[in-house]
Structure formats: structure tokens, C-alpha cells
Copies of this chain bind each other. A is one copy, B any other.
Amino acid sequence: MTQGIANREVGDQFEGFLLIKSVDKGVASNGKPFLTIIFRDRSGEIEAKLWDAAKEDEETFLAEAIVHVQGDIKQFRGKHQLNVRQIRLANEMDGVRIDDFIEKAPVDLDEMKDYLSQMIFALENPNIQRIVRQILKKYNDDLFTYPAATKNHHEYASGLMHHIVSMLKIAQQMKGLYPELNTDLLYSGIILHDIGKIKELSSPASPTYTLEGKMLGHISMMVEEIKLTAQELGIDGEEVLLLQHLVLSHHGKNEWGSPKTPILREAEMLHQIDMIDAKMNMVNRALEKVNPGEFTDRIFPMENRQFYKPTI
């Protein structure tokens, strides 16, 4: 457990740098304006009130600014709140960067790049390999910075690649246990399945849904992209259709946004691996924040369950 802003106790003094996530203006019961600021660092977030906020404060403390803050941790309606005593903008001398305040995938970027290269190199079907390479080439810059989602699981910088890499590793083990699996299909399906998120989300840093994302969704966009890419490369074998189905069906159920459910062995396996990695990512990160003998917060996408950390 790191000692960030999210790990302090009520009553603690805090002094240090924080990133402003959002600012909201209100009017207090005495008629004076105040600011509600959400601060964040890598450990998480905390809300603060800046009472009697001057016009100048409003113009200074904006979202995405880094500030130096002194204050105490209070309790308000069952949640922590930072009672700000002093606040100033960080300056160049402070030597702090936005990246220092944003959660990142807990793995080395270069290692992930190498591993991905090897996995693509290992694809035996030339059509599949060419389609995968061509698509990845288009996204090169974003592939290693985007999160896998805006919330719930792998929702941090490089989360998308972290998710892909974890799934590929599970897939390699599954091949050992179920040798009937066609690894060309399974590996390429995993690599492509969520790449559509790069178009679905607006930016790696504070992602929101794009118009295209809301209208079509990342699944349909990638299914279309596979076809377009195959056409560019002059490929039209069954491989194209199989790759499209692997992406199309990976949510596993109509209700969950896959217009067709898996009818390939590898598509079913892809869906199962996706669920395991998403769930483990959520559970592990929730358990990290509690001590043995305690329960985690409720995990919304896992039916709101609270997990227990055993004492043995």
C-alpha cells in the first residue's frame, strides 16, 4: 500500500503536491462563492472545499493543474475530505510532472513491446499476421498509452496493452492444456479485440466516449477495420471472417453488446480469458487496499460484492 492521498487517516496532516482533476463552483450559505476541488495522485482521489474563493482562485486552480497543498484529512458524510489550509500552483522549480500523478500499468513498457512483437512474429498464418501488423501500425502511438476502459478494470495509462499482454500469457498456457486451440486465431483475436477502444475513447489521459464510440462502439469499429485492412492488403480468405467473428463475439452475450455469440472454440476461449483478466485486475487492486481480515469496498461490475482478505 503506497502512502498517497487515498491512504491517509482522518486527522492526518497532509503536505505535498497533488493534481487537480476537476473544479466546481458553488455559493455557500453566507452568500460567498466556494470551490469544490477533486485532487488526485496515483493512490486515488480526495474532495476538498476552498471556502471564500476569490475570483483569482477560480482562475488559478483549474483542472489538470498541479498544486502544492497543506491541509488536514476530515470526514464528511462518510467520506474523506481535505480541509485546505494553504494552496499554491506548482512551478518549474518543483520538478513535478502530470505523469507522476496518474496511475500506470504496473509493468515495463519496453518488455510489453518486445513480448507483443514476439507474439506477432509467432503467428503462422501469413494472412492473419499481415492483417494484425497492418492494423497495429495504424495505432502505433496510442497502442501503448491508452487505458482499456474509462473505469472498472485496466483504467490507467497503458492499461489497454497491459490487458492484452496478460490475456496473451493466459492464452499461451491454455494452448498447453487444450492443444486443439488454434493459436493463430486465439492470439490474433486477443491482440485485436479491444483496439477499437482507441477510437472509442477520446484520449489516453482523461478519456471520454467519442461520437463514433457512442454511435457504433469499439466492437463494430474494429470489425469494420479488419475488413478494410484485408481489402487494402488484397486478402479475402476465411481468415478475415474468423478474425471479425473473434472481435464481434468477445463480449459473449447479446445483452453485453456482442451482436453474435461465440461459435468458434477460440472465440469462446477469448471471451473466458477476457473475463478472467478483467475480474482479477479488479479484485487484486481492491484487495491491495485492505489488510488481512478486512473486506474491500463494493466492486460494482462484480455484482457489488465485497471481497475478503484472509488471515492465513
Interface, chain A (partner B; CB < 8 A): 10, 24-31, 34, 49, 51, 74-78, 81, 83, 125, 166, 169-170, 173-174, 176-178, 180, 182, 184-185, 211-212, 214-217, 219-220, 223-224, 227-228, 231, 237-239, 241-242, 244-245, 248, 254-265, 268-269, 272, 275-276, 279-280, 283-284, 287, 295, 302-303, 305-308, 310-312
Residues in B with CB closer than 8 Å to A238 are 211, 310-312
Known: A211-B308, A254-B254, A265-B307. A75 touches B24 (CB 8 A): yes
* A86 vs chain B, min Cβ distance (A): 14
Residues in B with CB closer than 8 Å to A219 are 259
Known: A76-B26, A228-B228. A265 touches B242 (CB 8 A): no
> What are 9 A-B contacts defined by CB distance under 8 Å?
A25-B74, A215-B244, A216-B244, A228-B228, A242-B310, A263-B308, A264-B307, A272-B279, A276-B276
Q: Is the CB of B245 within 8 A of A216?
A: yes
Q: Is the CB of B263 within 8 A of A215?
A: yes
Q: Is the CB of B27 within 8 A of A81?
A: yes
User: How many copies of this kind of chain does the complex include?
Assistant: 6
Given B215, B231, B257, which contacts A245 in the complex, CB threshold below 8 Å?
B215
Determine the distance from Cα of A239 to Cα of B312 in the docked complex, in whole angstroms: 7
Q: Which 6 A-B pairs have the closest CB atoms?
A: A173-B173, A215-B245, A224-B224, A27-B74, A28-B29, A259-B259
Residues in B with CB closer than 8 Å to A311 are 238
